[in-house]
Structure 1
Amino acid sequence: MLTLLSASITSKEEEAIENTPANLPVRHRIITYIDENLTNPLLGPHSIMQHFHLSRSHLYRAFEPDGGVAKVIRDKRLDLAYRILIDRRGKPTSLKEIAYCCGFNDRTQFTKAFKARFELSPKEAHEIGAPLPQAPSGALILHSHLSEQAAKIASEHATTSTKAPPSAPVKP
């Protein structure tokens, strides 16, 4: 009630209504719906608006802190793709198949989005094989983790390729 009163004074009624505790369960239900339909290529803002009978502005305001609902969907799909790539490490893997399996419509779009999110290609992620780390809050801390893994692999490779054969004993 105080939030609404404050909003009426400051002309931010819509913002106050969006952030009331009563609307938080809607956001949670939307996230659950996204998780359950992640592999459906038709999942998007429009299908969510139809399913939950929401206006576009209501949906976008609910996910504004996350960069929008489309970004949330894309990031969740990319995280799923990353996990699949890791699970299939050492096995022949079709990036096109993984892209479609994760709800992307084409491989090029998938590869560009993957590189933008993780700063490495899907092929590189498949080869590195590092698990997708998560902070306690669920936020990804992947960039620093992958840098550490890449440095470790490079260090191991440098160590094994620069080892000189043992020299012959020197006679006094």
Structure 2
Amino acid sequence: MVSVPVSTTINSDEVEFLCRADESLLDVLRNRLGLMGAKEGCGTGDCGACSVIMDGRIVCSCLVLGAEAEGRTIETIEGMADGNELHPLQKKFIEHAALQCGICTPGFLMAAKALLDANPDPTEEEIRFWLAGNLCRCTGYDKIVRAVADAAQEMRGKRA
């Protein structure tokens, strides 16, 4: 199999890697770059556990080829915190007990971040719509929705 050279930006760092032409971005992140936050839940883009932000849009990294990262900007859960300071979404997920086993949590956080980057004042309906591509079998969704709404409110207050 042919190796493809890729130059990209991941979590604000310039990164270069070689990957197989048929290798998913999820496999590259986990197996080549050691970024273990994105999880493979289904491998078909149905669960959201592998969600990352690519060029400002949420994508299922299991459905994106690693070679497609060429020249792109990618954000993963590993880049969400600012040094040792958790992102407000991460803090609110903890405060609202919006996580349990942790398989789906990175995907939910990335989807919520993409939402708040695009719309800092979402309605509950908009939050539920943006999170609809993520499945959770442990917590249910109300705590997650409340955590996102609370984080949005806090983040708007800091921007004012």
Q: Return the TM-score normalized by structure 2.
A: 0.29
Higher helix share: 1
Q: Return the TM-score normalized by structure 1.
A: 0.28
Q: Which has the higher contact order (CA 8 A, sep 6+)?
A: 2
